[in-house]
A and B are shown apart, each in its own frame.
Chain A
Amino acid sequence: MKKESIGKILLGKWDTKTIVGVAIGIALFAVLMVYGSIKVFTNTNLSLAMIVPVIVGGLFGPLPAALVCGLGNVLADLIGGWGLWFDWSIGNAALGFIVGCLKLYGADIEDGVFDIKHMVIYAVLAVLGNILAFGVITPIFTKILFGGELNITIAQGWFAAVSNATVLIIAGIPILKALAARNARGKNLTKE
């Protein structure tokens, strides 16, 4: 297999397949965000939607994953009816970018490569990404866009970070493993 450059992996390849993949990802994200979630705190849910950007990241790269997270959140806000909160969408997009970096450290869902090493890196990235996205980026944008109300945003941010990290690790690893096992091919072959 050809080794791609890091810049190319980060940007992703924008052909028709990626566009459709991102679109399906957004639809899946929005549906899960609105209907597949368990309430934790105001405007914050234990949502399985967070798995979707990881899979899109594994298939298409980090930038598509960020787009899925950001636009998916906007669309979910639209059909869910709790008002548009662009600060959260931007924070989500950042998180999507970070957890979507699967290909950067060698995990490849399409070819069934997802080992213990990748799981550990993935879990660490999930925690760091959540802290960065909801502890730093979202409050900054809340300040810029709306001003004030920071206490509540920070409280919500911590709840969101903890619940997202929980979902990403508890639910994400088994799902990624199952998908990788489904796609595994030629794994047991050794080169002679």
Chain B
Amino acid sequence: MKNLNIINLTKGETFLHQLSGTTKVRLFAVLMVYVTMSFDLPIILPLFIVTIVGLVSLKPSWKVIKPVVIFVVAMNIVNIVLFWLANPHCGFEYTGDKTVLFAFTDYLVVTKGTFWYLTVRLLKMLTSFTTSLVFIMSITPSELAAGLTSLGLPYKLGSIVELAFRYIPDISRDYENISISMQCRGLELDAKKIKPIERLKQMIIILIPLIVTSFDRVGNISNAMDLRGFGKGKQRSYYSEYPERRNDTIFKVIYCLIALFCVYYIVSGLISPRDPKMWIYWS
């Protein structure tokens, strides 16, 4: 629960923090396309390294990050194993390789193609995670809204995302408080001691007060916003947004180049489909 502290509400000191919201949101959007578009190691690995460097440069508090990273890595590995159990030949479509490296039974075999595919898939998931982590840790809710508006979205949508982002830490704190006070009254929440259906029932007991307190806020917040004249104009400006600085210009060039590369890669893949579908080290 505590790891939702990764959302910060004030601007930090480091290089990435100091970029404008527009730059961050646009760079992130381009990078998401970049990660999603392919399963090629030469495309994914450099971004992975760059985001790790970016993460270190943010000088995060490692105590907060460590549990998140452990949780995500463990979850992704479990997912990969389940993928393999569901279909031991799932890599065939991508690599076109069925060389058996190791066989448990007739069904459960490890093929070279599947092994390579799942390894790259794991790296792809982790890259997507580090990219989102760097993005979330470097941005504040207000900058996020400013950035989304700069993409041409209506500012009311930007405000929705901003408010949601702002209230995630509050709601998770409420959740924790309610859960602790319910446990004081004798509610058993330990996953090892009770069955999933029992657990579902007890989650409902926590959920009702959480929903009531959360939606009670709506009146207060919307009145406060109405009093400040929210939604009266067609456009709005943002306090956190300022004219482009030197670093923003440099990043503008970078994300434009990456976007061009993405367009080239996707279009060329559509015109002449690659065979095999991903980059393989042995061919």
Q: When the two chains form their complex, are residues A24 and B218 in contact, meaning their CB atoms are under 8 A apart?
A: yes
Stretch of A38-46, A115-123, A128-136 that contacts chain B: A38-46
B45 within 8 A of partner (CB):
no
Contact among A17, A145, A174 for B204, CB-based, below 8 A: A174
Assess A82 versus B125: contact at CB under 8 Å? Given A17-B219, A21-B218, A30-B168: yes
Assess A83 versus B128: contact at CB under 8 Å? Given A14-B156, A23-B160: yes
Interface of B is mostly: helix
Contact among A19, A38, A155, A174 for B156, CB-based, below 8 A: A19
Report the bound CA distance from A170 to B200 in whole Å.
9
Q: Mark B65-86, 1 if CB is under 8 A from A, else 0.
A: 0001001100110110011001
Q: Which residues of A contact B129 (CB under 8 A)?
A: 81-83
Q: When the two chains form their complex, are residues B171 and A19 in contact, meaning their CB atoms are under 8 A apart?
A: no
Nearest-CB distance from A178 to chain B (Å)?
Answer: 6
Assess A26 versus B160: contact at CB under 8 Å? Given A31-B171, A152-B86, A152-B90: yes
Contact among B68, B171, B230 for A81, CB-based, below 8 A: B68
Report the bound CA distance from A24 to B163 in whole Å.
7
Q: Which residues of A contact B161 (CB under 8 A)?
A: 23, 26, 71, 75
B254 within 8 A of partner (CB):
no
**How many residues belonging to B are interface residues under a CB distance threshold of 8 Å?**
66
Report the bound CA distance from A72 to B160 in whole Å.
11
Interface of A is mostly: helix
B180 within 8 A of partner (CB):
no
Report the bound CA distance from A178 to B4 in whole Å.
29
Q: When the two chains form their complex, are residues A41 and B160 in contact, meaning their CB atoms are under 8 A apart?
A: no
Q: Which residues of A contact B192 (CB under 8 A)?
A: none
A190 within 8 A of partner (CB):
no
A22 within 8 A of partner (CB):
yes
Q: When the two chains form their complex, are residues B87 and A152 in contact, meaning their CB atoms are under 8 A apart?
A: yes
Q: Which residues of B contact A192 (CB under 8 A)?
A: none
- Of residues B32, B93, B170, B171, which shows the largest number of chain A Cβ atoms within 10 Å of its Cβ? B171
Nearest-CB distance from A17 to chain B (Å)?
Answer: 4
Contact among A28, A38, A79 for B211, CB-based, below 8 A: A28
Contact among B4, B128, B230 for A79, CB-based, below 8 A: B4
Nearest-CB distance from A68 to chain B (Å)?
Answer: 9
A–B complex contacts, Cβ < 8 Å, 21 sampled: A19-B163, A20-B222, A23-B160, A24-B164, A26-B161, A27-B164, A28-B211, A38-B199, A42-B78, A51-B207, A52-B211, A55-B215, A71-B164, A75-B165, A78-B132, A79-B136, A80-B72, A82-B75, A83-B35, A149-B93, A175-B208
Closest 3 interchain pairs by CB? Answer: A23-B163, A26-B164, A83-B128
Chain A residues at the B interface, C-beta cutoff of 8 Å: 14-17, 19-24, 26-28, 30-32, 35-36, 38, 41-43, 46, 48, 51-52, 55, 59, 67, 71-72, 75, 77-84, 145-146, 148-149, 151-152, 155, 167, 170-171, 174-175, 178-179, 182
Chain B residues at the A interface, C-beta cutoff of 8 Å: 1, 4, 6-7, 32, 35-36, 68, 71-72, 75-76, 78-79, 82-83, 86-87, 90, 93-94, 124-125, 128-129, 132-133, 135-136, 156, 159-168, 170-172, 175, 196, 199-200, 203-204, 207-208, 210-212, 214-215, 217-219, 221-222, 225-226, 230-231, 277
